[in-house]
Amino acid sequence: MSLPTHEQLTAALATVHDPEIKRPITELGMVESVQVDEAGVVRLTVLLTVSGCPMKDTIDRDVRRALGAVPGVTGVELTLGAMTDEQRAELQTTLRGGKPAKEIPFAQAGSLTKVFAIASGKGGVGKSSVTVNLALALAAAGRTVGIVDADIYGHSIPAMLGIADHRPTQVEDMIMPVPTPSGVSVISIGMLKPRRDQVVAWRGPMLDRALVQMLADVYWGDLDVLLLDLPPGTGDMAISLGQHLPGAEILVVTTPQEAAAEVAERAGTMASMLHQRVVGVLENMSYLVCPHCGPEHRIEIFGSGGGARVAATLSQRFGYDVPLVGQVPLEESLREGGDAGKPVVESDPTSPAAQVLREVADRLDARGRGLAGRQLGLTPTAKF
Ligand SMILES: Nc1ncnc2c1ncn2[C@@H]1O[C@H](COP(=O)(O)OP(=O)(O)OP(=O)(O)O)[C@@H](O)[C@H]1O
Ligand SMILES: [Mg+2]
Ligand SMILES: [Zn+2]
């Protein structure tokens, strides 16, 4: 058999993507040298962005697999090295595409990424559960999805996705989001602070800086959808979001309860004051499927009508349709999935909750990528 050509090897290596940056390693300056001897053994050095890169096993495996598939290759001797500071600086320039730092890509005119912020009036209504499940459902539908966990009080997103112990890789002052096994890119405010207990002291300006950091310093690449898990209520983070990402659309999560519905309305009103469009209301913990009768008997543990009420109130207040986009039942598998780091749309995809969440994801997705339907800041603000 003839020896593999350099072109064949390069083409094979180009199929290997850096798991964090999601671009071919050949484009990122990560392949330092490739040689092949007369026996067909390929010797190469691949430079990791940082030594001890958490993704090195993945890269190792993918490189071996790609080269092993080239006809004539009889063996692969792979050395994993680390980039020098200069090489990292070069990579950073490549990634920025020549643009200056500290720009929020999603706020640029012509950005095609749909941004949805998941908001609620109060805590514990299932915002984070909704965020991770929508993200995975969108990813399963073929979208490139990122999550910003901006909830200073909770930051439970990484645990729900099984990446609680992961820390983002940093390339100079650019941060790589942590990829989940299903390819969703995640940054959590909890990953940015050195110690867990530091969070209590965070105030407005610090939160603002943290949000900008998560949006501008993180290399998101070309996302179809970005989901933000906001802290509950109408606080500083919501204001920062309104300033930095006025094009974000808000999904309000509430429970069927009367009191929860009222606070959810406030969260929705706040969004509108910041000129953000509320895309819909999602009612969570709506009912329990009766274990005896099955789906036709819904036990309404937390009352009923909260979601519909919030949707009606916000529609009236804003003068556009704010639909109730779904009612997610209470389900043990949803909680278990979150606790186990495997959200219900993946762990129990046929469950009623997973089905509703997938429908909601489809609905958000159907709003399409691009500028259509986006609020351009001209719509009158809500009246009180
Ligand atoms: N539909 C549901 N069925 C069963 N359990 C649920 C459901 N929705 C959420 N839970 C559970 O309720 C708890 C709170 O949910 P979650 O953390 O998603 O809410 P949150 O609004 O993000 O809360 P926080 O304000 O603490 O961030 C979690 O243990 C979660 O697993
Ligand atoms: Mg949460
Ligand atoms: Zn029953």
Q: What's the gap in Å between 137 CA and the centre of ligand 2?
A: 18
Report helix, strand or coil for 142. Answer: coil
Check residue 380 and give its pLDDT: 37
* Closest ligand relative to 252 C-alpha: 1
Q: Residue of the nearest CA to atom 23 in ligand 1?
A: 124
- Rg from Cα positions in the chain: 23
Q: What's the gap in Å between 302 CA and the centre of ligand 3?
A: 16
Ligand 1: nearest atom to the Cα of 154: 27
CB atoms within 10 A of CB 20: 23
Check residue 200 and give its pLDDT: 52
Q: What's the gap in Å between 170 CA and the centre of ligand 2?
A: 25
Check residue 318 and give its pLDDT: 87
Ligand 1: nearest atom to the Cα of 253: 21
Each residue's pLDDT, cut to its tens digit, for the chain (384 residues) gives 688 998 899 999 999 998 888 889 998 889 998 999 999 999 999 999 887 777 889 999 999 999 999 999 999 999 999 988 888 888 887 887 766 667 899 998 889 999 999 998 888 899 999 999 999 999 999 999 999 999 877 789 999 999 998 889 888 778 999 999 889 999 998 887 655 555 555 666 778 888 999 999 999 999 999 999 998 877 778 888 888 898 899 999 999 987 777 877 887 787 777 788 899 999 999 999 998 998 889 999 888 899 999 999 999 988 899 999 999 999 999 999 999 999 999 999 999 999 999 999 999 998 765 444 444 433 333 333
Q: What's the gap in Å between 126 CA and the centre of ligand 2?
A: 7
Q: Residue of the nearest CA to atom 30 in ligand 1?
A: 335
Q: What's the gap in Å between 256 CA and the centre of ligand 3?
A: 20
Check residue 69 and give its pLDDT: 95
Q: What's the gap in Å between 334 CA and the centre of ligand 1?
A: 9
Give the Cα separation of 8 and 299 in Å (integer): 62
First to last CA, the chain: 79
By C-alpha distance, which of 120, 121, 118, 382 is closest to 273? 382
What pTM did the predictor assign? 0.82
Helices in the chain by DSSP H: which ranges? 6-13, 56-68, 85-96, 127-140, 157-160, 189-192, 204-212, 236-244, 258-273, 306-318, 332-340, 344-347, 352-366
How far out from the chain centre does Cα 31 lie?
28
Check residue 382 and give its pLDDT: 36
Ligand 1: nearest atom to the Cα of 284: 1
Q: What's the gap in Å between 295 CA and the centre of ligand 3?
A: 9
Which residues have CB under 6 Å of ligand 1? 120, 123-129, 151, 154, 156, 232, 284-285, 328, 330-331, 334-335, 338, 353
Q: Residue of the nearest CA to atom 1 in ligand 1?
A: 330
Phi, psi (5° rounding) for residue 197?
-80, -5
> What is the best residue among 129, 299, 300 to mutate for testing ligand 1's pocket, by most ligand atoms within 8 Å of CB?
129
The amino acid present at 301, given as its one-letter code, is I
Ligand 1: nearest atom to the Cα of 232: 25
Check residue 293 and give its pLDDT: 92
Report helix, strand or coil for 148. Answer: strand
Ligand 1: nearest atom to the Cα of 131: 18
* Closest ligand relative to 125 C-alpha: 1
The amino acid present at 379, given as its one-letter code, is T
Check residue 129 and give its pLDDT: 97
Phi, psi (5° rounding) for residue 136?
-70, -35
CB atoms within 10 A of CB 313: 18
